[in-house]
Amino acid sequence: MLLTKFTHACVRLEKDGKVLVFDPGNFSETDQALAGADAVLVTHEHADHIDVEAVAAALLGGVSLQLFAPAGVAAQLREKAPDAGPRIHAVTPGEDFETAGFSVRTFGGQHALIHPQIPVVANIGYFVDSNVYHPGDSFIVPDGVEVRTLLVPIHAPWNKVGEVVDFVIGVRAPIAFPIHDALLNDTGRGLVEGHVTRFGARYGTDYQHLATGDSVEV
C-alpha cells in the first residue's frame, strides 16, 4: 500500500488501483489529494480537516466516491451535495466497514480539548487494513488492535510535546509518520521530531520524517 503525505493532516492511500483519502482540509492540496479517489474518511468538522466546498464538488463530480464522517459533517455535505446523499455515510466509534477494497475500523469519539470555552466536537479515528491509524485531532489509543503504521499529530493548539511522545509510546507502532504539522517552522519541527524520534525508539517505534508530497510503501 502506498502512503502519500499532503500538507497538514491529509494523507492518501493507494492499493490495487483504489484510492482512499484522509482529511482533505483547506491547509492541504485538496484537489490533488482527491484526484481519482474512491473513498474519503473525515475525522471531524474543522476546516483544516475538511474543505467542504472541494469535497462536495468531488462528490458531485464522481458518481462512485464514498465519504465517511461524523454525523454533523455528513449532514453538512448532504446539504451541499444532495445528489450524493446515498454515498455520504455517518460513522460513530466502534464500527467496522469496507470501502473501495479497504477495511476500516473506527475509534475515539471526541476532539481533544482546546480550551474549556471552546466546544468539543465529534472526532473519529480510522484504522485501515489493520495497518494505518489516523487519529484525527485526538490521542485516542486504539484498543484491541496492533497498529503497524501510526500517523502522529505532532503539533496543534490542543497538544504539547509530552502528549505527542506519550501517544507514540502508548500505541507502540513499529513505524510512525507526522501529520498535523502545517503550523510548525523548521526550528519547531526539529525540536518536536527530535523528542518523538528519541523516546519512540526506546519503545520500539521508528519515527520517520515525511515531507509534503513524499510517498512510502507501508
The predicted structure's pLDDT at residue 63: 79
215 assigned to some structural domain: no
The predicted structure's pLDDT at residue 23: 98
The predicted structure's pLDDT at residue 59: 96
The predicted structure's pLDDT at residue 198: 97
125 assigned to some structural domain: yes
Mean per-residue pLDDT for 7-24?
97
**pTM summary value:** 0.97
CATH number of the domain within which 37 lies: 3.60.15.10
146 assigned to some structural domain: yes
218 assigned to some structural domain: no
* pLDDT tens profile 172-184: 999 999 999 999 9
Q: What is the mean pLDDT of the chain?
A: 97
Band of residue 140 on the pLDDT scale cut at 50, 70, 90: very high
Which residues constitute the domain of residue 129? 2-210
The predicted structure's pLDDT at residue 114: 93
Q: For every residue of the chain, which 3-state class applies, written as one string?
A: CEEEECCCCCEEEEECCEEEEECCCCCCCHHHHHCCCCEEECCCCCCCCCCHHHHHHHHHHCCCCEEEECHHHHHHHHHHCHHHHHHEEECCCCCEEEECCEEEEEEEEECCCCCCCCCCCEEEEEEECCCEEECCCCCCCCCCCCCCEEEEECCCCCCCHHHHHHHHHHHCCCEEEEECCCCCCHHHHHHHHHHHHHHHHHCCCEECCCCCCCEEEC
97 assigned to some structural domain: yes
141 assigned to some structural domain: yes
Q: Does the structure show a pLDDT above 90 at 138?
A: yes
Mean per-residue pLDDT for 4-24?
98
The predicted structure's pLDDT at residue 111: 95
The predicted structure's pLDDT at residue 62: 78
123 assigned to some structural domain: yes
139 assigned to some structural domain: yes
**What is the rounded distance in angstroms from the CA atom of residue 123 to the CA atom of residue 111?**
5
**Given CA atoms 155, 157, 158, 159 in this order, what sign does their dihedral have?**
positive
Domain count, the chain: 1
* pLDDT tens profile 41-89: 999 999 999 999 999 999 999 779 999 999 999 999 999 999 999 999 9
Are 31 and 61 within 8 A, CB to CB? no
- In one-letter notation, the amino acid at residue 15 is K
